[in-house]
Amino acid sequence: MIALPASVKAYFDAANADRRDAFLAAFDENAFVFDDNRTFQGTEAIRNWSDADVFGARVRFSVIDATEQDGAYAVIASVDGDFDKTNLPDPFLLRHAFELSGGKIKALRVTLP
């Protein structure tokens, strides 16, 4: 597994430690997130998404694998938290595909692996 850039590491570490400000600081102000067929663009939209879907659900990530190709990072993480797990596999894995700009997350796509 590769070493993750600071902003990608901060994304997972801040979520796991309930540190909203550090989580949001990992993103570029014009970043976008694609998650569960929904798109969120800009700091306010990402804050609302993370308040509901990450911090509100007390999501915890455990990084399983990480790769880098042409400056983009793909991270497979096991996900747990206070959300409905009915019909979800155990462990529940999600792929996080990060694009960076100036050391910050400019794009994040969260999908099934």
Q: Return the closest-CA partner of residue 9 out of 30, 21, 25, 26.
A: 26
pLDDT, residue 99, reads: 98
Provide the CATH number for the domain around residue 52.
3.10.450.50
Strand partners, 78: 62, 93
In a domain, 1, yes or no: no
Query: pLDDT at residue 1 above 90?
Result: no
SS3 43: helix
**Can you give the residue range of the structural domain that contains 71?**
6-111
In a domain, 53, yes or no: yes
In a domain, 107, yes or no: yes
User: How many independent structural domains does the chain possess?
Assistant: 1
- Quick one: 64 exposed, middle or buried, by C-beta within 10 A (0-12, 13-18, 19+)? middle
In a domain, 100, yes or no: yes
User: 33 is written with which tokens?
Assistant: 């997130």
In a domain, 90, yes or no: yes
Q: What is the pLDDT of residues 62-99, one digit of tens each?
A: 999 999 999 999 999 999 999 999 999 999 999 999 99
Mean of all residue pLDDT scores within the chain: 97
In a domain, 71, yes or no: yes
Query: pLDDT at residue 24 above 90?
Result: yes
When pLDDT is cut at 50, 70 and 90, the band that residue 27 belongs to is: very high
In a domain, 106, yes or no: yes
What is the residue type of 52?
Answer: A
